[in-house]
Copies of this chain bind each other. A is one copy, B any other.
Amino acid sequence: MKKVGIALLGLGVVGSGTYRILESKKEKIMRDFGVELEVRHVLEKDTSKAVALGIDLSKVSCDIENVVKDDKISVVAEFFGGIEPARTFLLAVLKAGKSIVTSNKELFSKHWPELEAAAKETGAGIYFEASCGGGVPIIRALHESCQGNDILEIKGIVNGTTNYILSNMSEHGSDYAETLKEAQKLGYAEANPSADVDGFDSTYKLSILSSLAFNKRVPYTSIYREGISKVTIDDIKFGKEFGLTVKLLAISKNVNGKIEAHVYPAFIPDDHPLAKVSGAFNGIYVVGDNVGELMFYGKGAGDLPTGSAIVSDIVYAATRAEHRRYPFILEAEAQDFNDDFVSEYFLRLTVKDETGVLSAITGILGKAGISIDSMVQKAGSNGKATLAFVTQKTTELTFRKALSELEAAPCVTEINSVIRVEK
């Protein structure tokens, strides 16, 4: 039987989960895929983690040369996260002709071309199923199941932390700050939550997914980004009256060859397949021009779910002589981005509770060519009222212009929030 040596770089949560799966499924993988996977080396400075997993310490070090120089290692899985030393180590490994497997979305979205070039030189493979959607096999699906399609749209809930926070706000009516604190206490959010709540993590993932889907590099820097910290419990409550649920969405569209790529909190209809993706789950909705709508759903993080995706890549790499190539990635960077995209908008305003106010506001919107789909008005205190609108489709620039006119209108006390609506 074919025997393939593996190295694991790091024994954090996912690294440890991967090791446990490789051990517990060793026999199964031999039986079903005809390959014996042997973990020959582990890079980890905290040896207690290796001891806890029962790994012989003779296999553990901090020196990447122990991996690079071992000819029997042909697949290297990286769990460090962040750019360095992951980048340097993986480049060294690829140059030695070993295939890499990673869940590192930040590294991958920022340095894919460099890694791909190194892999191309030696014929090694690059696998990154675990970089997007945790255990959800979305990379395989985009690359190996949609070949007869032009992908028109991706709409994903790809960050479990923000989805947990928004789901909890929605279910329990608690506010953002309180829910974030709770999530931090439970380990669902980091002490510094910015990478998640400000949407950076989602932009890295959307960059990878969009590049695959559109077969052009979509740099994460080209992705418009808004986080969830401004979403209030009032927005969620008004949304419910319109039959809408708020989610942090990673959206990219190919509109007549122009790419639109955005990460922002958005309302979706309660009956959209993504609306039921709650808590730490991820859901990725894909539209192809031939296959139509597809959706993929599963756990977006965690030792064993993400470890499952890593092991899937390891088995894939270990059983194939020809590795996958992404020919586009070195060649074409998407140039044509559409800033003035079309959307619907949820708009919540505090206004003076006077005769003629509604007419003045709808007048401003009407003059800008923005039609109103639905409206809710609530009386407030101190002679004020709240108006919430959902518009029909308009362009971002048109809406922004109308918004500045609303801001200047004497009857408008405050523009409380603007959230895009994706139907």
Contact = CB atoms under 8 A, between A and B. Distances in A.
Interface in A37-77: none
Nearest to A147: B315
A148 B276 contact: no
Contact of A32 (B21, B147, B315): B147
A322 B2 CA distance: 15
B304 A294 contact: no
Interface residues of A, number: 54
A32 B28 CA distance: 34
Interface in A281-330: 281, 288, 290-299, 302, 304-305, 307-309, 311-312, 315-316, 320-322, 327-328
A56 to B, nearest CB: 22
A327 B30 CA distance: 11
B141 A294 contact: no
Contacts of A290: 17, 21, 25, 135, 304-305, 307-308, 311
A111 to B, nearest CB: 22
Contact of A149 (B22, B145, B148, B308): B308
B288 A292 contact: no
A283 to B, nearest CB: 8
A150 interface: yes
15 contacts: A25-B147, A33-B147, A34-B327, A129-B145, A137-B140, A145-B312, A146-B312, A147-B311, A273-B276, A273-B297, A290-B311, A292-B302, A292-B304, A296-B297, A321-B322
